[in-house]
Amino acid sequence: MSTIHRTLGTVLLALSATLAFAQEAVLKPFVLASKGPGDLAQKLDATKAALTAAGFTVAGSYSPYAGANVIGATNDELRSNAAKSAHGGFGAAVRVSVTKVKDQIQVAYTNPSYMANAYRMAGDLKDTAAKLQAALGRIEEFGAVGLTAEKLRKYHYMFGMEYFDEPNTLASYGSHEEALKAVEAGLAAGKQGVTKVYRIDVPGKKETLFGVAMKGDGDNKYMDDKYIMSEIDFRDVKSTAHLPYDILVSDNKVYALYARFRIAISFPDLSMMGANSFMNIMKAPEAMRAALALTAGGKEDAR
C-alpha cells in the first residue's frame, strides 16, 4: 500500500504542478507571424488578401512612417465579443503590421487573447487567434516578458496610473448618432493632426471604434505616431501593431484610453527612466488627450 500511496502522491504532485503552470501561463502583446526578404508593397497586399481569405474584413490601413504599415481588421467573433462587455469596442479590431527592418519584412499582429484580457472582454478570442495563425503564420509571441490573464484584467503600469476602466471622456452629445457625426467631421477635417484609418461598428450595441492616425510636428510632435514609436519601439522585432490609436463612441459619449494605459499595455516592460523609456515621451499622454478631445468636438482639457 505504501508504494501505491507514494506513486499516487507523485502523480498528484505532477498534476498539481501542471495545473499551476497552466494557471500562471503568460501572454505577450504581439505575435510575430513571419519574417524574411521581400517587397514591402507586395507583402502588404498579400497580407490583406490572406486576412480576407480567412474571413476577416479589412477595415482600413495606413503607413504611419516610412517602412511601416498597419492594417485594421475585424471578424464576426471580434465584433460579437466586443458587444458583450463594457467598452468592449476597444477590442473590436486586430491590428496587423507589415514592417521593413533592414533587409527583411516582418509581419506581426496584436495577440487576440492578450488584448481580450487587457480590455476585460467576455471571451478569450482563441478562435480568432487560430485563424490569424492559419492565415499569416506564427513564430513567437513578443513584446514583453508577459503577463497572466488575471494580471492583465487589472493592469495598470504603476501606482497612480490609469486602469482600463478609467478612460478619458473626450466629449458628450445628445445621441449616439450626433456623437458619430461629430467624430467623423473632426477626423475628416484633421485640424488637430488626427485622421481616420478605419471605423468598426459593434453590432447590437451603440458602440463604434475608430482607428486614428496622429501626426504632428514642432510643438505638437509629442502626439505624433512616428515620434512616439521612435522613442519606445527600439527592439529588433518591431511592435508597429501598437498603432493606430483609438477613439470609441459608446452611446452618446466619446472615449479614448488614457495614453499611460494604452501605451503601457503594448510596452509593459518599458522602463520609467533612462534611454528608450517612458520618461522620453512624458509629454505624450497630455498632448494626445488634447488632440483627441478637440478632434471629437470636446474641450482641450476634457477628462
What is the value of pTM for the model shown?
0.91
Q: What is the pLDDT of residue 275?
A: 84
CB 292 within 8 A of CB 255: no
The total of other beta-carbon atoms located within 10 Å of residue 105's CB is 22
Q: For residue 128, what are the CA distances in angstroms to 31, 38, 109, 111, 228?
A: 13, 26, 12, 10, 29
- The CA distances from residue 180 to 243, 248, 258, 261, 287, in Å, are 22, 10, 20, 24, 23
- pLDDT tier at 10, thresholds 50, 70, 90: low
pLDDT for the residue numbered 226 = 97
> Which residue(s) pair with 70 in the sheet?
62, 97
What are 169's three cell numbers?
471622456
* Distance separating alpha carbons of residues 237 and 272, to the nearest angstrom: 21
pLDDT tens-digit map of 199-257: 999 999 999 999 999 999 888 899 999 999 999 999 999 999 999 999 999 999 999 99
The span from the CA of 24 to the CA of 7, in Å, is: 26
What are the pLDDT digits (tens) for 254-290? 999 999 999 999 999 999 988 888 889 999 999 999 9
Q: Where are the domains of the chain?
A: 26-295
Task: Give me the percent of the chain exceeding a pLDDT of 70.
Answer: 91
CB atoms within 10 A of CB 24: 12
| Predicted pLDDT of residue 62 | 98
pLDDT (tens digit per residue) in 59-106: 999 999 999 999 999 999 999 999 999 999 999 999 999 999 999 999
Q: Taking 80 as the threshold, does the pLDDT of residue 7 lie above it?
A: no
All cell numbers assigned to 131: 485563424
Higher pLDDT, 160 or 45: 45
CATH of the domain spanning 26-295: 3.30.310.70
Position 24 confidence tier, pLDDT thresholds 50, 70, 90: low
- Spatial separation of the C-alpha atoms in residues 252 and 293, rounded to whole Å: 15
pLDDT at 21 (0 to 100): 41
Could you tell me the pLDDT band of residue 15, with boundaries at 50, 70 and 90? low
| Cβ contact 212:245 at 8 Å | yes
Residue in 168, 120, 104 with CA at minimum distance from that of residue 300? 168
Q: Are 28 and 114 in contact (CB under 8 A)?
A: yes
